[in-house]
Amino acid sequence: MENPNYDRYVKKANNKDVSLEDLRDRLAEFAQVRGWDQYHSPRNLLLALVGEVGELSEIFQWKGEVARGLPNWSCDDKEHLEDELSDVLLYLIQLADVCGLDLGQAALAKIVKNARKYPVNS
Ligand SMILES: Nc1ccn([C@H]2C[C@H](O)[C@@H](COP(=O)(O)OP(=O)(O)OP(=O)(O)O)O2)c(=O)n1
C-alpha cells in the first residue's frame, strides 16, 4: 500500500550528502511527531545508546578476529552491521542534541586536541 510519509523518508534517506546537522534535524522531527520528546532525556538516550553498543558488540561476539573490509561476510550480515552502527550513531547524535552540544564542532575540536597530544614522530 502507498504510504506517502514512508516514501518521503526513503527519498530523504537516499540523499548521499548527509551531515550530522541533517541527521540531527531529521531525528528531532522523527521524535517530535511521535510524541517521543518526553522520553528523550539525556539519561534515557545514553542508556539506549549503550544498549545499541551491546547489540553492535553481539555481531562480533565469538567470531575471532575479523579482517578489514569484512571479505567473508554475507550481504545480510553487512546490512545488520550497518543497522547497528546507525543505531549507535543516531542515539549519539540525539544525546548531543538534547544536551545542547554541537557534536560536529566538538568532534573537530577533539581531533585538534588529539593532534596536539599525539604529535607526528613523537
Ligand atoms: N524512543 C526511540 C525509539 C527508537 N528510536 C530509533 C533510534 C534507533 O535508530 C532505533 C532503535 O529502535 P529499536 O529500539 O526498535 O531497536 P532496533 O532497531 O535495534 O531493534 P531490535 O532491538 O529489535 O533489533 O529507533 C528512537 O530514536 N527513539
17 pLDDT band, cuts 50/70/90, is confident
pTM here? 0.90
CA of 68 to the centre of ligand 1 (A): 27
Select the more confidently predicted residue: 16 or 84: 84
Each residue's pLDDT tens digit, 69-97: 999 999 999 999 999 999 999 999 999 99
Select the more confidently predicted residue: 60 or 17: 60
Q: Whose CA is nearest to atom 12 of ligand 1?
A: 87
Q: Are 42 and 95 in contact (CB under 8 A)?
A: yes
Ligand 1 neighbourhood includes 90 CB (under 6 angstroms)? yes
Ligand 1 neighbourhood includes 39 CB (under 6 angstroms)? yes
Taking CA 73 as the corner, what is the angle to CA 69 and CA 74, rounded to the nearest 5 degrees?
Answer: 130
> Which amino acid, 50?
V
Ligand 1 neighbourhood includes 6 CB (under 6 angstroms)? no
